[in-house]
Each structure stands twice: as structure tokens, then as C-alpha cells.
């Protein structure tokens, strides 16, 4: 049987989602917990590969097992077994060929920028000391929707077949003393959101003009775009799937 597991995690203590040699990852910790409680080796495949320090308020992964279990009981045991920075929210059966990564229709991310120093959000926001022009940043966000190729925001030497992404939402929202950048697309390139946000902040600081974003995107050159903001302000917030994946 194939199952989906829905979870969230604080990425501060992990070197990202995906298993790595000599580094602790979220995937590794969850696999060990499942393997222990189901008393068999269990491998999981996530909906994405969040980088070191990135958080997720919603992540999905799939795993296969023929072991019969009580779902609420397994969820309870997993949450008791796992560290405090990983939480399991649901486990449900899906069709045998459904893949957590390849069947995802879209993913949404949130990046939090603090515009006022706050000792209680230092692990979840990037603090920008100088005032930002949010109107200009939202003008620039609309430009993203006009393009498909975002090689200029991709980490160098990334092994991908295409740099095309369909962005369907990109906007800045004012939330008290924070600015929240919300972006949704069918897929994202490595470091893409953090590079976009860094470029937007440069626009908000009036270091570059809004219209220059066209030139940056068309250049397909990472060095033309802005800096990469720190990972701790980034959250994977939603992964969407077709409605017919359930068994």
C-alpha cells in the first residue's frame, strides 16, 4: 500500500529535507521514526527538497508498506517519538502510482521580512533595517508573471532539464511589522525564491529600478539578479495535488 504523510517542521536544526551523508535531515529523522514504529525499513519521498534552514508548514511525502496499522495511533506515536521541531498531521492511503513529488500540481512559499527589530522572530524573519518601498516591490512582483524562464534566479550548476516555471501568484503583503512575500508556481528552481526576494529587496531599497527586472530575467544570468536572502525566513506553506489521488 502507498500512503501519504502530511507534516510540518522547523528547519533550523536540519541540513534541508533530503538525505545527505554526514548531515542530519528531516527525511532521515522521519524515515527512522517510521521504520522503528512499523518494525521494517521505510523510505519516504518528499514533495520537494527544501534547503538547509528552510521551514515547512505543510509538506507531503509518500511511503510504501504492507504493514497494517491504526492511523490515529501511528500519528500519535510518531509525534511522541519525533523531536519537537517535526510534527505529523495526517497519514492517508493513495493510489499505488501516486508520487508525492511528481504529482504535485503546485507549491506555495512564504518569505517573511521584518521591518522592525523583534527578538521573538529572529529565527523566522529576515530583518531589513532600512525602509522598503512595498508598492515598487509589488510592481516588480507582477513582472514575474510575464515570464517562464527563471534561470537568472537559479543556483549555479543546477542539473535541470528546464528553467521554466509557471508562476501564478507573486505578491507582497503587509502584516504588522512584517512584509510577507507569497509566491505560488507549478515548480521552483534551487534557491529561486530566496534570489527573487533578494532582488525584490534591492528594488524596495531603490538600489535598482522596477523595470530593470525585465533585463535581469532576460539575461538568464544569476550574477545579474540580487543577493540570496537567508534561509530562516522561508517557509513551504502549501502543496496542491489532484483530487483523485486518494484510494
The pLDDT assigned to 74 comes to 98
Strand partners, 90: 6
The pLDDT assigned to 157 comes to 76
Reported pTM = 0.95
The pLDDT assigned to 159 comes to 78
Taking the alpha carbons of 145, 160, 50, 14 in that order, is the dihedral positive or negative?
Answer: negative
Q: Give average pLDDT by consecutive 10-residue segment, the chain, 247 residues.
A: 98 96 96 98 96 97 97 98 98 98 98 97 96 97 98 87 96 97 97 98 97 98 96 98 95
The pLDDT assigned to 156 comes to 81
User: Three-class SS of residue 88?
Assistant: strand
Ordered structural domains, the chain, with CATH: 2-102 (3.30.70.580), 106-238 (3.30.70.660)
Let me know: does 100 contact 46? Beta carbons within 8 Å.
Answer: yes
Q: Let me know if 177 is a catalytic residue.
A: no
Taking CA atoms, 189 is separated from 50, 101, 105, 153, 171, in Å, by 11, 14, 15, 8, 18
**Closest alpha carbon to 29 in 89, 81, 92:** 81
Q: Which residue has the cell 492517508?
A: 92
The pLDDT assigned to 228 comes to 97
Amino acid at each position: 500500500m502507498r500512503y501519504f504523510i502530511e507534516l510540518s517542521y522547523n528547519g533550523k536544526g536540519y541540513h534541508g529535507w533530503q538525505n545527505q551523508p554526514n548531515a542530519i535531515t528531516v527525511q532521515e529523522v522521519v524515515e527512522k521514526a517510521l521504520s522503528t514504529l512499523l518494525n521494517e525499513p521505510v523510505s519516504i519521498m518528499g514533495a520537494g527538497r527544501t534547503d538547509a534552514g528552510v521551514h515547512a508548514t505543510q509538506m507531503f511525502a509518500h511511503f510504501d508498506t504492507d504493514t497494517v496499522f491504526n492511523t490515529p495511533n501511528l500519528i500519535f506515536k510518531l509525534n511522541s517519538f519525533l523531536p519537537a521541531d517535526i510534527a505529523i498531521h495526517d497519514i492517508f492511503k493513495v493510489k499505488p502510482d501516486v508520487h508525492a513529488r511528481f504529482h504535485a500540481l503546485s507549491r506555495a512559499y512564504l518569505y517573511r521580512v521584518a521591518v522592525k527589530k523583534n527578538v521573538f522572530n529572529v529565527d523566522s524573519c529576515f530583518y531589513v533595517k532600512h525602509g522598503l518601498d512595498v508598492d515598487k516591490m509589488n510592481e516588480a512582483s507582477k513582472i514575474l508573471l510575464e515570464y517562464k524562464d527563471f534561470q537568472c534566479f537559479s543556483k549555479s550548476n543546477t542539473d535541470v532539464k528546464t528553467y521554466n516555471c509557471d508562476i501564478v501568484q507573486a505578491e507582497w503583503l503587509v502584516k504588522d511589522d512584517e512584509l510577507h512575500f507569497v509566491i505560488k508556481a507549478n515548480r521552483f528552481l534551487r534557491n529561486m525564491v530566496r534570489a527573487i526576494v533578494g532582488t525584490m529587496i534591492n528594488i524596495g531599497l531603490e538600489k535598482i529600478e522596477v523595470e530593470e527586472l525585465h533585463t535581469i530575467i532576460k539575461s538568464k544570468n544569476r550574477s545579474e539578479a540580487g543577493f540570496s536572502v537567508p534561509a530562516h525566513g522561508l517557509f513551504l506553506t502549501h502543496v496542491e495535488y489532484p483530487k483523485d489521488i486518494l484510494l
